[in-house]
Chain A
Amino acid sequence: MLYFSKLRVFSVLIFTLIISYFTISNFTKIDDDYFSKNIKLGLDLQGGSYLLLEIDNNPVIVQRLQSKVLELKKFFKDKNIKIRNFSIKDQSIFFDVNDIEKKEVLSLLDDDKSEINPYFQQFKSHEFDIENEDNSFKLTYSDYGLVLLKKSSLDQAIETVRRRVDEVGTNEPNILKRGNDRILVELPGLDDPGRIKSLLGKTANLTFQFVANNQEQSFGTELLQYESGDREAIVSKRIIISGDNLVDAKPTMNNQTNETVVSFSLDRVGARKFGKATSSGVGKSLAIILDGKIISSPTVQEPIVGGNGQISGDFTFQSATDLALLLRSGALPAPLNIIEERTVGPDLGKDSINAGIMSLIIGFILVVAFMFYKYRFFGLIANLALISNLFLLVGILTLFEATLTLPGIAGIILTVGMAVDANVLIFERIKEELKNENNSIVAFDSGYTKSRTTILDANITTLIAAVILFFMGSGPIKGFSITLGIGILTTLFSVYFIARLITAYYVIKNKHKEKLI
């Protein structure tokens, strides 16, 4: 049908104008959140850093198993059951029991109401899988136990990462979970991620432990390296206080030594423990240990009871600031590895935008000129449809605040090239129809009708490719699939509503003219 109701013409017009408005709002400055939206630029266009971090959960698993062993020991002791030969190997707990108590142990571990091996109704699984051979037991994290463990360490890690990134104060960072052990950090505008990387690369486990002297140590000792790498010391395994006890930390200047130090304050529990330890330990060396390395080991001159202290070391102001930041933001549950990094400098981003816009303009002019050359007046109609298509496409991207990437711009240009296809199919069909049909209105009408399935087929195939790319692609490629996919929808709209409206109007006005197209 070439007839359009007034209402329809009106709604098409309004819709197109509203969406086009958002396209224009990219280039204007209006101070209103509702009416001034801007397309978001991907990191490849505005410059910035993309970091993909993976949690190394192995230490967490070992740590949890160790505390589980303590739990088990206490649990069975309370029940008066003798358990022997506890050991942790290959991320499993091993132990032996006596013959008579074997059944009871098994039922305590395998019961739905088990206190020591919780049963998760929603997963139909215990936290641990149990293997039992003769009198030996083996407990290993079940798949769901592992999922829960990973989930909780991811939740904890992402909070710490967020605090650290926020403290550095970058511009609108984007921090997201990826899967169950990855964190994506996007830092727009940052062209040297070195500092952030070094901050995220540290677990920041801080402990205060005495350097062991020759006296007997009830907690055992360990040999640790100094941060500087040139010395080592034997320290007691007994942890006096840890980073958890810290409430604040900041870099300051020590007036006596003129050194940069990190001063900290402790919470009440920490202050009491620290006071007690330093009172009894005057004259001893106190090792300050970060992530298994000794920062410094000052000698305790007098009891420190106020809950305030200082960490000295060979700090520059920058490194003291960073350490204070790490201590304030808390420790990560597990080390993070950076497994993917992409950084684009801001001037390359600018160059990419310019090149993208340049090729869009030139591609657009070439296509428009070619269409005008091939179809004259109808070429103008197709071009008008193409222009409104562009406005709709950019407008919708803006409205949904989609991220525009360099491949995304390529997708827009490609849409310009492929969008005319639908109008070409229609115009060619009309030409054929006009050969056997004298009534031009009928010819135009059947030209539109007969080409419709072909146009749908042709666009659906491209849409399929775009949808698959959207789900499988990452980052910039996703941007391409978005513009390509939305481009197909706006193309169909511009062809069937805008171009067809103008065509209809023109044909009805000129129905007696020879050689309409």
Chain B
Amino acid sequence: MKTIYFNKFYKSFNILSGILIIVSLVFLVFKGLNFGVDFKGGTLIELRTDKSSANITKIRDSFNQMNLGDVSVKNFGNETDFVVKFEKQNSNDPKFIDELKTKLSNSIGYVDFRRVENVGPKVSAELLRSGVIAIVLSLAAMLLYIWIRFEWQFSLGAILALFHDVIITLGVFSVFSLEINLSIVAAVLTIVGYSMNDTVVIFDRVRENLRKYADVKIFELTNISINETLSRTIITSVTTLLALLSIFIFGGEILKGFSLAMILGVIFGTYSSIYIANPVLVSLKVSQRTIVKEEKE
């Protein structure tokens, strides 16, 4: 196979990544994330209407009259399905949901509540905290694992790549105001695993090649290693993306956010294994001595 000179573009892609990270951080800090009821508390209702009677404006108007705080209404999948979210959560009143349903059907006709989620402020705060802990813990566990398996220069490269993927994926969610719920946390953790997996495969090859070739500079050596593992990188990304696209297109509305986050994560993860993890090795001037020294000890 023809060699592709990935290493020629290390600098330009690092600049691009830097810009993307800064933009993501700016959005995350100033715009923030669009938390769903899991993390913000409140009520979510997925409802189905019959074809003729309802549209978003009508539904929003009738919910707005009910004094429920901030109401958001979105189409969900097809034109008869909607998702309504509002701040008020009142699960202690057993008639709360029934009353909403009666009021709504008075103004728009037939309506079926397909899903109701009601999360109190205490629970949502706990879910948010355990979500953050889960992500931090997984990053720490990955750091520990790679620190045991590789030299510190490699660990740094892999961890930077991880942060890159997580920050930019969340950045995309912030820019487009996509909803962050429990399944997104699961997606982020899986992205962390996938991105690590991808980086480790290339790093294993880099280390093997460092032993093999004493006189090749790390700049060249990373490129050789990327090329040698390239067809694996591509095939695995393609099969994973095929599976994820299938979930995204056919898996129903509930899994849309999850599969979208994963698709972004796989793309960024593949890219960062090449363009973040490897340039770190180059700038840290990793050489045969880096790994030989370690092995002597």
Q: Which residues of A are interface residues toward B (Cβ below 8 A)?
A: 44, 51-52, 54, 192-195, 197-198, 201, 337-345, 347-348, 351-352, 355-356, 358-360, 362-363, 366-367, 370-371, 374, 406-407, 409-410, 413-414, 416-418, 420-421, 424-425, 428, 432, 453-454, 457-466, 468-469, 472-477, 480-481, 484
Contacts and interface: CB of A to CB of B under 8 A. Distances in A.
Interface in B85-103: 91-92, 94-95, 97-98
A342 B204 contact: no
Given A343-B115, A414-B244, A469-B134, A432 B228 contact: yes
Given A355-B250, A472-B133, A458 B200 contact: yes
B29 interface: no
Contacts of B190: 414, 462, 465, 484
A311 B135 CA distance: 56
A348 B46 contact: yes
Tell me the interface secondary structure of chain B in the complex. helix
11 contacts: A345-B112, A355-B250, A363-B242, A410-B258, A413-B251, A418-B194, A418-B236, A421-B236, A457-B149, A477-B182, A484-B190
A352 B254 CA distance: 8
Contact of B252 (A355, A428, A474): A355
A351 B250 CA distance: 11
B183 A477 contact: yes
In this complex, the member of A358, A409, A477 whose beta carbon has the largest number of chain B beta carbons within 10 angstroms is A477
B204 A454 contact: yes
Contacts of A339: 91, 120, 122-123
Contacts of A454: 200-201, 204-205
A465 B137 CA distance: 9
B26 interface: no
Contacts of B112: 345
A513 B68 CA distance: 74
In this complex, the member of B94, B122, B192, B244 whose beta carbon has the largest number of chain A beta carbons within 10 angstroms is B94
A472 B186 CA distance: 10
Interface stretch (B17-25, B51-59, B138-146): B138-146
B119 A464 contact: no
Contacts of A197: 91-92, 94
B254 A406 contact: yes
Nearest to A345: B114
Given A197-B91, A340-B123, A417 B200 contact: no
A342 B262 contact: no
Given A462-B194, A472-B134, A407 B247 contact: no
B34 interface: no
B145 A464 contact: yes
Nearest to B190: A465
Contacts, number: 220
Given A366-B246, A407-B186, A421-B236, A428 B231 contact: yes
A406 B239 contact: no
A468 B235 CA distance: 28
A515 to B, nearest CB: 15
Nearest to A199: B94
Given A406-B255, A417-B243, A453 B204 contact: yes
A450 B249 CA distance: 38
Given A345-B114, A418-B239, A424-B239, 13 more contacts: A198-B95, A344-B114, A367-B243, A370-B242, A417-B240, A417-B243, A417-B244, A453-B204, A457-B200, A468-B189, A469-B189, A476-B182, A477-B182
B172 interface: no
B8 interface: no
Contact of A407 (B94, B97, B255): B255
Interface of B: 46, 91-92, 94-95, 97-98, 112-120, 122-123, 127, 130-131, 133-134, 137-138, 141-142, 145, 149, 182-183, 185-186, 189-190, 192-194, 196-197, 200-201, 204-205, 228-229, 231-232, 235-236, 238-247, 249-252, 254-255, 258-259, 262
B246 A362 contact: yes
B209 to A, nearest CB: 12
B115 A462 contact: no
Contacts of B131: 472
A343 B183 CA distance: 17
A363 B114 CA distance: 27
A429 to B, nearest CB: 9
Contacts of A417: 239-244
B250 A359 contact: yes
Tell me the interface secondary structure of chain A in the complex. helix
Q: Considering the complex of A and B, which 5 residue pairs feature the smallest CB-CB distances, nearest first?
A: A417-B243, A363-B246, A355-B252, A465-B193, A472-B134
Nearest to B243: A417
Contacts of A338: 91-92, 118, 120
B255 A410 contact: yes
B247 A359 contact: yes
Given A195-B94, A477-B183, A468 B117 contact: no
B242 A358 contact: no
A461 B196 CA distance: 6
In this complex, the member of B122, B127, B190, B239 whose beta carbon has the largest number of chain A beta carbons within 10 angstroms is B239
Contacts of A192: 98
A136 to B, nearest CB: 35
Nearest to A360: B246
A367 B247 CA distance: 13
Contact of A458 (B115, B197, B238, B244): B197
A410 B250 CA distance: 11
Contacts of B46: 348
Contact of B201 (A351, A458, A469): A458
A348 B115 contact: yes
A461 B145 contact: yes
A466 B149 contact: no
Contact of B193 (A51, A193, A340, A464): A464
Given A363-B243, A367-B243, A454-B204, A407 B258 contact: yes
Contacts of B116: 341-343
B232 A425 contact: yes
B186 A359 contact: no
Given A340-B118, A465-B193, A414 B240 contact: yes
B118 A342 contact: yes
Nearest to B235: A424
Contacts of B251: 355-356, 358-359, 409-410, 413
Contacts of B149: 457
B58 to A, nearest CB: 22
A459 B193 CA distance: 9
A358 B137 contact: no
Contacts of B193: 461-466
Contacts of B235: 370, 374, 420, 424, 428
Nearest to A200: B94
A468 B246 contact: no
Given A367-B239, A468-B189, A477-B186, A461 B94 contact: no
A192 to B, nearest CB: 8
A52 B123 contact: yes
B143 to A, nearest CB: 11
Contacts of B183: 407, 476-477, 480
Nearest to B98: A194
Contacts of A414: 190, 240, 243-244, 247, 262
